[in-house]
Chains A and B, each alone.
Chain A
Amino acid sequence: MKISTSRGTLLAAVVAAVSLGAAACGGGAGGGGNSAHTVTVAVVANPDMQQMEQLIGTFEKQNPGITVKFDTLPEDQERAEIQKDIATNGGLYDVVMISNYETPIWAKNGWLDNLSSKFIASDSSYDASDLLPPVAKSLSYRGGLYSVPFYGESSMLYYRKSMLQAAGITMPAHPTWTQVAADAAKLNKPGKVAGICLRGENGWGENLATLDTVINTFGGSWYNMSWQPQLTSPATEKAVNFYVNLVRKDGEPGASSDGFTELLTLYTQSKCAMWYDSTVAASSIAADKSVFNDTGYAFAPVDKTKASGWLYTWSLGVPKDSANQSAAWKFVSWATSKPYLRLVGKKFGWAAVPPGSRTSTYSLPQYQKAASAFAGITLQSIDSVNQAAATAPKVPYVGIQFVDIPQFENLGDEVSNQIAGAIAGSESVSAALSASQNDAAPVGQQQH
């Protein structure tokens, strides 16, 4: 493997030259006890992360000598950047924002620090047992945490109380998909309000996230125990038909180009009677008082399984090739600590506190007061998630709205393209699924 060695040597030379220069500078300045460190952090451009960037002054004041530099990018670009950097030992980032999809895979590849053994064990102030158990478990590999949650989410159903009331519908706390589909048919007013808004945009983090929870609860799966693809199995096909028909018949028009952002806009503009999506949308809805007061919440609808919500978390990890390990951990532990969550509450309002990371958040009186409408259901949704057993049949993989294998990013995107095609009506569900099955077969063979 010539490329990587020569690159590694070059990189080492550059690093050596730079650190020599830095050492020379330090010597010139007389060399204090606290040498200056710059921690470079790759983050996703979401509102919660932008709050963190605004609060970084507090961290830098508490930790003189550490400067934090943010590299803020949209989700797919951030993923591509850090994937490139970490796989080629680029050493550009000291802290990376990743998810429960990457963490176990990268931990297995030896790209990330074992935070438990390296830092948490000797850091008594960081209360790791306070992290929400399903979230912490999803970020662990062989018992060690390889990244720590910044916020966590599951999925749930939002609905407009006034519209349901007008149609004479009462929504149970734990609805089934059959009920939701019947309600959507009643609520749908073509051209005015969609009965239910569902994601149709391509991308494994877009339409597949919601669709996979439906496939799971209908008894379908991606693979069976011998890694044979199950995308054309009767259960999976039934689920996909259900989803595609529902969104085509009683969903929003042009669903194949709608993702989370588009649906949030439609929902707050009163164009959706119901909306099944991430629990974090609740904080955005809370910002609009009239919509917030008219919104009801229900658990993710089910069919065969007891719960169907997904589990996703944006978390912070430290790459093994980072040159500023201890400074990096200082930043990571600050951004995921209890004091940080309180700081956000004080500065930006208590409903804006990053949800789904720590149990203690949900017992803060101020948070309970500000987020009473959705805090309980968010916490219960996340707590009822079991990533290792989300499907009805036994499967060889972990993950609810994804399959935790390195090839899934690409496979998922290809399958989601097919699904978007089926939602747009440019191909049938069975054609989309058999094309997906063909894509999934070679990936399954690589898992043996």
Chain B
Amino acid sequence: MAVLERAARRVHTPAAPAGPTARQRWLRRLPLLPALIYMVVVTQIPFLFTLWYSFQNWNLLSNARAHFTGFSNYSSVFTNANYRSSLLVSVEMTATAVIISMILAVALALLLNQKVLGRGVARTLLITPFLVMPVASALLWKTTMLDPTYGLVNWLLSPFGVHHVAWLSVHPLGSIIIVLIWRWTPFMTLIVLAGLQSQPLDVVEAARVDGAGPLGVFRHVTFPLLRPYVELGVLLGSIYIVNTFDEVYSMTSGGPGNITTNLPYYLYEQAFQAYNVGGAAALGVVTVILTMIVASFALRMIASVFRFEEAK
């Protein structure tokens, strides 16, 4: 194999014909080809169709035939106040949920990293919210927890003078964010815990010998070592939470008003309530571009974590 590669490298000079190299390269890629073709078929072809639809005026409600409209779908995306507000809601929802769940996750991971009785049980219990189906947990939150009449939250808070708060009416976005935090904290905790456990104990010990208290150890040793894991958790969490649909759909249907309509829900409304195929496709394309920008940052960050691992 090494000989082959060396030979290939030797042939690959500007003067030599590229024929055999290309052939060999393709031969090497051949086993990957089915997977590649499959990927292209299931991801790229639908995307090309979406691109095509995004330039069409096509609404399933009307009997009129679809026709080319140029960039009008795109211009209506950018001039639409509802789109901008859903973008803002997405950002607010994602940022708040990610930051708070990360803070909680660091605290919980530090606790779980201690050797205490029943640590295994506590870990399992903590992770459970992440394992419940999102739709099921959203419906449970809506009916058993936040309901103004039967809800457990109001019942728990009633000794403190809180009476019959209609959480989903008065604090709709806050309620959804709370459910998101409840669901995503375990995920973040797992990542941070993995970071804590890969922390070299000799460094911590050395810091203690040098006279650092628990707070000092955390500030100067644990946290710097944990940082890449926190960053990874934040970025992965953001990617997932930006796509939140289940909670919005089953708890508030984007309302009241448009307070909880985030991007995915707005897209759903355009495609499956307005049947505006062209408009929804344009929205999808714009959203994909935005997501790609965010995702490229995320990928770079993941790469930095791996570099960090290698450096150790």
Contact = CB atoms under 8 A, between A and B. Distances in A.
A291 interface: no
Contacts of B255: 201-202, 256, 417, 420-421, 424
A254 B145 CA distance: 13
A83 B60 contact: yes
Interface stretch (A31-39, A232-240, A281-289, A407-415): A407-415
A162 interface: no
B275 A83 contact: yes
B148 A253 contact: yes
A389 to B, nearest CB: 26
B65 interface: yes
Chain A interface size band reads 35 or more
B191 to A, nearest CB: 34
Contacts of B52: 3
B61 interface: yes
Contact of B273 (A257, A410, A421): A410
B149 A424 contact: no
A254 B60 contact: no
Interface in A400-433: 406-407, 409-410, 413, 417-418, 420-427, 432
A109 B170 contact: no
B60 A84 contact: yes
Contact of A421 (B147, B259, B272): B259
Contacts of A376: none
A109 B61 CA distance: 9
Interface string A105-140: 000111000000000000000000000000000000
A191 B164 contact: yes
B187 interface: no
Contact of B258 (A1, A108, A253, A417): A417
Contacts of B251: 257
Contacts, number: 116
Interface string A179-212: 0000000000011000000001111000000000
A410 B66 CA distance: 19
B257 A418 contact: yes
A255 B255 CA distance: 12
Contacts of B256: 200, 202, 256-257, 417, 420-424, 426
B111 interface: no
B273 A426 contact: no
Given A257-B251, A410-B275, A432-B257, 19 more contacts: A3-B56, A76-B272, A76-B273, A80-B275, A83-B60, A191-B163, A253-B166, A255-B169, A256-B166, A256-B169, A256-B255, A410-B273, A410-B274, A417-B256, A421-B256, A421-B257, A424-B166, A425-B170, A427-B257
A323 B43 CA distance: 32
A271 interface: yes
B254 A417 contact: yes
A289 B157 CA distance: 34
7 interchain residue pairs of minimum CB distance: A421-B257, A254-B166, A424-B256, A254-B148, A1-B65, A420-B256, A410-B274
B164 A257 contact: no
A254 B147 contact: yes
A7 B195 CA distance: 52
Contacts of B269: 410, 413
A266 interface: yes
12 contacts: A80-B272, A253-B164, A256-B169, A406-B61, A406-B62, A410-B276, A417-B254, A417-B256, A424-B166, A424-B172, A424-B257, A426-B259
Contacts of B169: 200, 254-257, 423-425
Interface of B: 52-53, 56, 58, 60-63, 65-67, 142, 147-149, 163-164, 166-170, 172, 251-259, 261, 269, 272-276
A425 B256 CA distance: 9
A421 B256 CA distance: 4
A87 interface: yes
B302 to A, nearest CB: 36
A9 interface: no
Interface in A77-112: 80, 83-84, 87-88, 108-110
Nearest to B258: A417
A4 B63 CA distance: 12
By CB atoms of chain A within 10 A, which of B52, B167, B261, B273 has the most? B273
Contacts of B168: 254, 256-257
Contact of B149 (A4, A109, A266): A266
A1 B67 contact: yes
Contact of A203 (B63, B253, B275): B253
B142 A202 contact: no
A252 interface: yes
Contacts of B67: 1
Nearest to A266: B149
By CB atoms of chain B within 10 A, which of A88, A110, A410 has the most? A410
B274 A109 contact: no
Contacts of A203: 253
A109 B164 contact: no
A407 to B, nearest CB: 7
A424 B170 contact: yes
A253 B61 contact: no
A21 to B, nearest CB: 24
Contacts of A427: 257
A190 B164 contact: yes
A87 B275 contact: yes
A11 to B, nearest CB: 16
A107 to B, nearest CB: 11
A409 to B, nearest CB: 6
Nearest to B261: A417
B280 to A, nearest CB: 12
Nearest to B270: A410
A284 to B, nearest CB: 18
A191 B150 CA distance: 11
A426 B257 CA distance: 8
Contacts of A200: 169, 256
Contacts of B172: 424, 426
Interface in A247-262: 252-257
A406 B142 CA distance: 32
A191 B58 CA distance: 49
Contacts of B142: 257
